């Protein structure tokens, strides 16, 4: 009697290991990070309390946490959608920043639109630019067999260079030392509702939509089929080229939406320093969420919390905010490498995502 009960309990953990493993990974990462913090002569508990009390128990801090989280949800979702179709979009960064600039320009230079419409138009500009930037990688993959990991990395660097030129020359805010654009028009601003930016609500809705699309629609079924087995998908008559291009467009569009929301709802202008590294955090979030669209929300909240609290960490304890990068890197390592899963579940461990494809297909 009691024996079946225990095995049921273990069974519960084994069945839900996609939740158990990331949580265990976070704890191990915090433990190892704690050792690093301790070696720098600071009590780890004090350091972690500084992060979390700043990020969650302070109304300014809470707003900042949500502001950090909002674009991260969408960046994570962008990578997630790619993973589901077997594409590894490393270029969320480039897509996000080009979209951020595009929506900023729409927010600044379109002046004749009424408030809500102006926001919608600016968001759309961002989504389109993000999608097109990723679409280049999609086309290169579909028609020339260029692996998306390489092409999106190159497109990241190219985007950074072009944007750097654009904000230091044609679109630079006049009489300003910093390289950034002017502030967007009042009509293009996405407001905050209390401590929650409106963009965050939008991001959550998009997550729900994407989850529904992947799990409940024909298009989602096609996506998953392609992601699970390309050969079976081709045999079933799915147009692979079309799927690759659509997958990249969708992924880039989501990253673009993240950039656009950040510009319109958080930073109100484009400044390259604001969104450095968001796309790469998106990779961490997607792998932490095991490519589950709904799980990107808590994963993004975690990363957003650490990013928001990391700043106060240096102020209070002198620990460099880059400790957050170390914590995230260890978490990512433990989530994506099967070490922890094998340790916890032995032979019952599930395999994680699979995105390797040859150079030529």
Partner 1 sequence: MLDFISENRKPIITLALVTVVAYVFYFLDEIKTTSVLVFGWGYAVPLVLAAMVGIIGERTGVVNIGIEGQMLMSAFASFFGSVITGSIYLGMVIGILAGLVMGAFLAVAAVKWEMDQIIAGVVINIVAAGLTSFFYAPGKTLPQLMPVVSIPILSDIPLIGPVFFRNGLFALATLFIVLAVNYAIFRTRWGLRSRAVGEYPSAADAAGINVLRTRMLNVTLAGALAGCAGAFLALEAAGTFARGLTAGRGFLALAIMIFGAWNPLGALAAALFFGLSTAIASQLQADEVINIPQQFVNLLPFVMTLVVLAIAVGRVRPPAAAGQPYTKEG
Site for partner 1, residues 313 to 332, rule: CB under 8 A: 320, 322-323, 325-326, 328-330, 332
140 lines the binding site for partner 1 (CB under 8 A): yes
Stretch touching partner 1 by CB under 8 A, among 222-230, 232-240, 281-289, 292-300 = 281-289
The residue from 144, 175, 231, 237 that contacts partner 1 (CB under 8 A) is: 144
161 lines the binding site for partner 1 (CB under 8 A): yes
Give the nearest distance from C-beta 226 to partner 1 in angstroms: 16
Please, what sign has the CA dihedral across residues 79, 87, 124, 101?
Answer: positive
Give the nearest distance from C-beta 222 to partner 1 in angstroms: 22
Stretch touching partner 1 by CB under 8 A, among 6-14, 157-165, 192-200, 210-218 = 157-165
Q: Please write down the HEC assignment for all residues of 128-142.
A: HHHHHHHHHHHHHHH
User: Would you give the distance in Å from CA 80 to the centre of its chain?
Assistant: 8
Nearest to 126 by CA among 97, 103, 104: 103
169 lines the binding site for partner 1 (CB under 8 A): yes
Nearest to 255 by CA among 203, 299, 215: 203
133 lines the binding site for partner 1 (CB under 8 A): no
The residue from 154, 195, 204, 294 that contacts partner 1 (CB under 8 A) is: 154
- Pick 88 or 268: Cβ nearer partner 1: 88
226 lines the binding site for partner 1 (CB under 8 A): no
Distances (CA, A) of 267 to 106, 112, 167, 308, 317: 15, 22, 15, 15, 27
The residue from 228, 337, 343, 350 that contacts partner 1 (CB under 8 A) is: 337
**What is the Cα–Cα distance from 263 to 277, expressed in whole angstroms?**
15
36 lines the binding site for partner 1 (CB under 8 A): yes
90 lines the binding site for partner 1 (CB under 8 A): yes
Give the nearest distance from C-beta 198 to partner 1 in angstroms: 31
Stretch touching partner 1 by CB under 8 A, among 8-16, 104-112, 145-153, 307-315 = 145-153
301 lines the binding site for partner 1 (CB under 8 A): no
The residue from 25, 26, 71, 88 that contacts partner 1 (CB under 8 A) is: 88
Two tokens at 301? Answer: 């909240």
149 lines the binding site for partner 1 (CB under 8 A): yes
Burial of 153 (0-12, 13-18, 19+ CB in 10 A): middle
The residue from 14, 153, 204, 311 that contacts partner 1 (CB under 8 A) is: 153
250 lines the binding site for partner 1 (CB under 8 A): no
Q: Which residues pair with 197 in a beta bridge?
A: 192
- Pick 202 or 249: Cβ nearer partner 1: 249
Interface positions with partner 1 (CB under 8 A) = 36, 88, 90, 140, 144-147, 149-151, 153-155, 157-158, 161-162, 164-165, 168-169, 280, 283-284, 287, 320, 322-323, 325-326, 328-330, 332-333, 336-339, 342, 352-360
């Amino acid at each position: 009697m009691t024996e079946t009960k225990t095995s049921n309990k273990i069974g519960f953990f084994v069945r839900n290991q996609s939740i158990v493993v990331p949580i265990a990974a976070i704890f191990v990462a915090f433990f190892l990070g704690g050792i690093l913090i301790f070696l720098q002569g600071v009590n780890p508990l004090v350091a972690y309390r500084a992060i979390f009390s700043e990020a969650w128990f302070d109304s300014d801090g809470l707003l900042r946490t949500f502001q950090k989280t909002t674009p991260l949800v969408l960046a994570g979702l962008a990578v997630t959608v790619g993973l589901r179709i077997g594409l590894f979009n490393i270029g969320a960064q480039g897509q996000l920043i080009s979209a951020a600039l595009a929506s900023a320009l729409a927010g600044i230079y379109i002046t004749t639109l009424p408030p809500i419409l102006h926001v919608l138009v600016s968001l759309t500009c961002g989504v389109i630019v993000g999608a097109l930037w990723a679409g280049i990688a999609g086309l290169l993959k579909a028609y020339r067999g260029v692996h998306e990991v390489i092409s999106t990395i190159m497109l990241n660097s190219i985007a950074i260079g072009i944007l750097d030129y654009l904000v230091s020359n044609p679109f630079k805010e006049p009489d300003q030392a910093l390289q950034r654009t002017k502030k967007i028009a009042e009509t293009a601003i996405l407001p905050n509702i209390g401590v929650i930016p409106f963009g965050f609500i939008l991001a959550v809705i998009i997550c729900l939509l994407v989850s529904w699309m992947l799990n409940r629609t024909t298009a989602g079924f096609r996506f998953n089929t392609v992601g699970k087995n390309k050969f079976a998908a081709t045999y079933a008559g799915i147009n692979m080229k079309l799927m690759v291009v659509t997958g990249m467009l969708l992924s880039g569009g989501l990253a673009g939406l993240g950039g656009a929301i950040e510009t319109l709802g958080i930073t109100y202008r484009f400044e390259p320093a604001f969104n450095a590294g968001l796309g790469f955090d998106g990779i961490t979030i997607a792998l932490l969420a095991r490519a589950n669209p709904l799980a990107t929300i808590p994963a993004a909240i975690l990363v957003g919390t650490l990013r928001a609290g990391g700043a106060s960490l240096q102020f209070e304890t002198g620990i460099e905010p880059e400790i957050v990068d170390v914590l995230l890197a260890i978490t990512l390592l433990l989530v994506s490498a099967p070490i922890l899963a094998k340790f916890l579940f032995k032979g019952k461990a599930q395999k994680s995502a699979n995105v390797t494809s040859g150079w030529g297909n």
